[in-house]
Amino acid sequence: MKALLLHPAAKPLVFLACLLPFASLFYGAVADTLGANPAEALIRSLGDWTLRLLCLTLAVTPLRTWTGWHALARFRRMLGLYAFFYGLLHLLAYAWFDMGFYLDDIARDIAKRPFILVGFAALVLMSPLAATSFNRAIKAFGAARWQRLHRLVYAVACLGLLHFFWMRSGKNDFAEVAVYAAVLGVLLGWRLMRRLRDRQQGLQRA
DSSP code of residue 142:
-
Higher pLDDT, 191 or 173: 191
Is residue 170's pLDDT more than 80?
Answer: no
Each residue of 80-112: pLDDT tens digit? 999 999 999 999 999 999 999 999 999 999 999
Task: Give, in degrees to the nearest 5, the angle at Cα 71 between 67 and 77.
Answer: 115
**Integer Cα distance of 117 and 142 in angstroms:** 32
| CB within 8 Å of 103: residues ≥ 6 apart | none
Percent of the chain residues past pLDDT 90, beyond the cut: 83
**pTM score, whole prediction:** 0.94
pLDDT of amino acid 204: 73
pLDDT of amino acid 116: 95
pLDDT of amino acid 55: 97
Indicate if the alpha-carbon torsion angle 65, 67, 73, 77 is positive or negative: negative
CB 76 within 8 A of CB 82: no
> What integer best gives the mean pLDDT of the chain?
93
CB atoms within 10 A of CB 47: 22
CB 50 within 8 A of CB 88: no
**Integer Cα distance of 79 and 74 in angstroms:** 10
Each residue of 175-205: pLDDT tens digit? 999 999 999 999 999 999 998 888 888 777 7
pLDDT of amino acid 133: 92
pLDDT of amino acid 206: 63
100: left (phi over 0), alpha (psi -120 to 50) or beta: left
Say whether 61 sits in a helix, a strand or coil: helix
